[in-house]
Amino acid sequence: MADTPMMEMRAITKRFPGVLANDNVDFDVRAGEVHTLLGENGAGKSTLMKILYGLYQADEGEVLLDGEPVVIDSPTTAISHNIGMIHQHFMLVETLTVAENVALGLPSSKGAFTDLDVVSDHIVELGGKYGLDLDPSAVVWQLAVGQKQRVEILKALYREAHLLILDEPTAVLTPQEVDQLFGTLRQLTADGRGLIFISHKLHEVLALSDRITVLRQGRVTGHATPDGATRSSLAEMMVGREVKLAPDKPDVTVAEPALVVSGLEVYGDRGLVAVDDFSLEVRAGEILGIAGVSGNGQRELAEAIAGLRAVTKGSIEIAGTDVTNNRPIEVRDVGLAYVPEGRMKDGCIASFTVSENVLLVDHRESRFLNRGLFDFGAIREHSQGLVDEYSVKTPTLETPVRSLSGGNIQKLILARELEGTPTVLLASQPTRGVDIGAAEYIHERLVTQREEGTAILVISEDLDEVFGLSDRIAVMYEGQVMGIVDPATATREQVGLMMAGVRPELSP
C-alpha cells in the first residue's frame, strides 16, 4: 500500500523516575515529508526521538518501519534500518579530518588510505548533490559550527539514512546557515527521504514542515499544517494559552549612560583582532540590541565586558567606574550581571543538583549562611522560588541537572542570572533553546528590569527578538559597529544587509 508510512510509532510510553516523558504517543513519517515535533521544554520530544534511534527503550508501544514491527535496541540497529540522527551536540572527533570522521565506525574500513580516498570522493559527490560543501581533508576543530553540522549530516547520508531525525538543528546556526540547511533538507525530501524536525522557532517550523504534531507534557495534544497555522496559533497549541510573541514596552525616560565602551580592541582565540575600535553607550533604562551574524566579535565583546578576555586597546566603564581588564568578580561587584552564550558549557555543572546549580554564583551571600554554615532551608526555598517562577520542569530540587531537558537547563541558569537589579545586564542569546512560553517570560523580565533602570545589552542572532526588545539596534560586523538603527523605522532587510557588511548609506 502506497500510503503506509515509512515509520510509525504507536502508543509509545516512557517513564523516568517521577516523570512520564512520553504518554501513549502516536507519531509517523511518510517518505518525502518533513514532520515537525513541537512542544515546550520538557514536553518529551528528545525522549521520543531517542527511543526511535535506539538510545532509550520504550516501556510500552511499538515502532513499525514500512509497516513491519521492529525492535530498535541500539543506534547501530537504527542505522542498519537506515535511520540517522543529527544531535544538537555534535558527536565528532575534533582532531580528525572530515573524511576520517565520516569513515569512523564504518564496517568496511580496511586499508585506511585507499578507503579514505573512496570516502573523500563520495563526500564530495554527496556534498555537491545536497549543497553540503566541505573539504574532506579539513580537520574538524577548525570548522565553523554550521560546517560541523554538515559533517554530521554527511555521516548519516553516507550510511544511507532514509529517515533523518534533526533535534533542534538550527539552535546553533546563523540565519544564513539556516537558509543553507533548509536548502539541503528540501533536496533530501525531494529525493524521497523522510525528516523529523524539532525547533522552537515557529517561523522555521512554518517554512519547512509538511505536518506538525504538538506534544504537551508527554502527550500528543494537536496536529497542524503550515497553511492552516500561524505563529500565534502554534504557540497557543503548545502552551495551552495565548502567548505574546513580542513584549509590551512602556515608555521609559532614559538616564545617564551606564555602560560606556570606547575604542575597544580585543583579540579572539586564533590571535586575530575580533573587536576592532568598537564604541557604544548603553543608558540606564534602555535595551540596546546587538544584531549580527555570530563570529563577528560578539562573543569576544561580551567576554571583554565581563572581564573574561583581555582588552588590548580602549576602555570599558560601568556606572562611571573604569573596569577595563578588571577581574570578573570585580566587574560583577560594580553591578554587571552576565548571561553567557555558552550556558550549557560555562553556566552549569551537569552532575550537580538543581539546588546546587542555583547556589553556584550565590554561595557568597549571607542569606544562605547561618553562623557560617549553609542554611539548607533558605537554599531550598530560594531554589524552589526560581523553579516556580521560570516554570523549570524538574521532578525535585535534588535531581541532577543532566537529566533535565535541554531548555529547562537553560531556564534554570537564566533564572539564576537574571535575579536582582544590576546596573548593567549583558545577555547573550537569552532565549536560545528555550520554548515560546519561557521566551515570553524572559522578555517580560528584561523589560521589567529596563523599567527599573538597568542598562541592558542584548546580543542576539534572532532578529525577531532584537526587533521586539530593543530601543536601539546596533549591527555588528567584523568587530565593528556597522550602524545603529531605530527598530520603529528600520526594516529587517536593512538590518540584514548591514549584518552582511553593507553600510546603511549604501542601502536603498
Ligand X SMILES: Nc1ncnc2c1ncn2[C@@H]1O[C@H](COP(=O)(O)OP(=O)(O)OP(=O)(O)O)[C@@H](O)[C@H]1O
Contact positions vs Mg ion (CB under 5 A): 46, 406
Comparison of 46 and 298: residue with beta carbon closer to Mg ion: 46
Minimal distance, residue 45 CB to Mg ion, in Å: 5
Minimal distance, residue 400 CB to ligand X, in Å: 9
User: Which span sits near ligand X by CB under 6 A: 79-87, 104-112, 154-162, 400-408?
Assistant: 400-408
The total number of residues shown for the chain amounts to: 508
162 binds ligand X (CB under 6 A): no
Minimal distance, residue 21 CB to ligand X, in Å: 4
Rounded to an integer, what distance in angstroms lies between the CA atom of residue 298 and that of residue 283? 19
Q: Can you list the pairs that 273-276 forms with residues at least 24 positions away whose Cβ atoms lie under 8 Å?
A: 273/479, 274/299, 274/300, 274/301, 274/479, 275/300, 275/301, 275/304, 275/479, 276/478, 276/479, 276/480
Alpha carbon 501 to chain centroid, angstroms: 24
Comparison of 307 and 406: residue with beta carbon closer to Mg ion: 406
The one-letter amino acid code at 472 reads R
Burial 331-370 (b: 16+ CB within 10 A, else e): bbebbbbbbbbebeeebbeeeebbbbbbbebeeeeeebee
224 binds ligand X (CB under 6 A): no
Minimal distance, residue 57 CB to ligand X, in Å: 12
Closest CA to 477 of 506, 457, 502, 508: 502
Minimal distance, residue 389 CB to ligand X, in Å: 17
Comparison of 238 and 318: residue with beta carbon closer to ligand X: 238
Residue 355's binding partner among Mg ion, ligand X, none (Cβ under 5 to 8 angstroms by kind) is none
Classify residue 141 by burial, with Cβ atoms within 10 Å: 0-12, 13-18, 19+.
exposed
Contact pick of 180, 213, 405, 470 for ligand X (by CB under 6 A): 405
403 binds ligand X (CB under 6 A): yes
Rounded to an integer, what distance in angstroms lies between the CA atom of residue 405 and that of residue 397? 15
C-alpha grid cell for residue 51?
Answer: 527511543
Comparison of 43 and 476: residue with beta carbon closer to ligand X: 43
Residue at shortest CB range from ligand X: 407
Closest CA to 166 of 136, 144, 189: 189
- SS3 sequence, 67-88? CEEECCCCHHHHHHCCEEEECC
Residue 201's binding partner among ligand X, Mg ion, none (Cβ under 5 to 8 angstroms by kind) is none
407 binds ligand X (CB under 6 A): yes
Whether the CB-CB separation of 108 and 115 falls below 8 Å is answered with yes
Comparison of 46 and 213: residue with beta carbon closer to Mg ion: 46
User: Which span sits near ligand X by CB under 6 A: 16-24, 328-336, 470-478, 497-505?
Assistant: 16-24
Site string for ligand X, 28-67 (x = CB under 6 A): -----------x-xxxxxxx--------------------
C-alpha grid cell for residue 490?
Answer: 528600520
Comparison of 58 and 458: residue with beta carbon closer to Mg ion: 58
Residue 123 vs residues 139, 166, 195, 273: alpha-carbon distances, Å: 14, 20, 21, 34
404 binds ligand X (CB under 6 A): yes
Q: C-alpha angle with apex 386: 342 to 309, nearest 5 degrees?
A: 25
Alpha carbon 62 to chain centroid, angstroms: 31
Minimal distance, residue 105 CB to ligand X, in Å: 24
Minimal distance, residue 344 CB to Mg ion, in Å: 12
Contact pick of 155, 393, 432, 450 for ligand X (by CB under 6 A): 393
Whether the CB-CB separation of 159 and 84 falls below 8 Å is answered with yes
Site string for ligand X, 420-449 (x = CB under 6 A): ---------------x--------------
Rounded to an integer, what distance in angstroms lies between the CA atom of residue 83 and that of residue 76? 9
- SS3 sequence, 195-238? EEEECCCHHHHHHHCCEEEEEECCEEEEEECHHHCCHHHHHHHH
16 binds ligand X (CB under 6 A): yes
Comparison of 153 and 215: residue with beta carbon closer to Mg ion: 215
170 binds ligand X (CB under 6 A): no
Minimal distance, residue 402 CB to ligand X, in Å: 8
Comparison of 46 and 180: residue with beta carbon closer to Mg ion: 46
C-alpha grid cell for residue 335?
Answer: 553591578
Give all strands of the β-sheet with 321-322 in edge-to-edge order.
273-283, 257-267, 311-318, 321-322
Minimal distance, residue 439 CB to ligand X, in Å: 12
Residues near ligand X (CB under 6 A), total: 19
Residue 393's binding partner among ligand X, Mg ion, none (Cβ under 5 to 8 angstroms by kind) is ligand X
C-alpha grid cell for residue 199?
Answer: 525547533
Write the DSSP symbol of residue 97: B
Comparison of 247 and 406: residue with beta carbon closer to Mg ion: 406
User: Which span sits near ligand X by CB under 6 A: 110-118, 170-178, 397-405, 494-502?
Assistant: 397-405
User: Which span sits near ligand X by CB under 6 A: 63-71, 116-124, 384-392, 399-407?
Assistant: 399-407
Rounded to an integer, what distance in angstroms lies between the CA atom of residue 306 and that of residue 301? 9
Instruction: Taking the CA atoms of 458, 439, 166 and 90 in sequence, report the sign of the dihedral they define.
Output: positive
Residue 44's binding partner among ligand X, Mg ion, none (Cβ under 5 to 8 angstroms by kind) is ligand X
Interacting residues toward ligand X by CB under 6 A: 16, 19, 21, 39, 41-47, 393, 403-408, 435
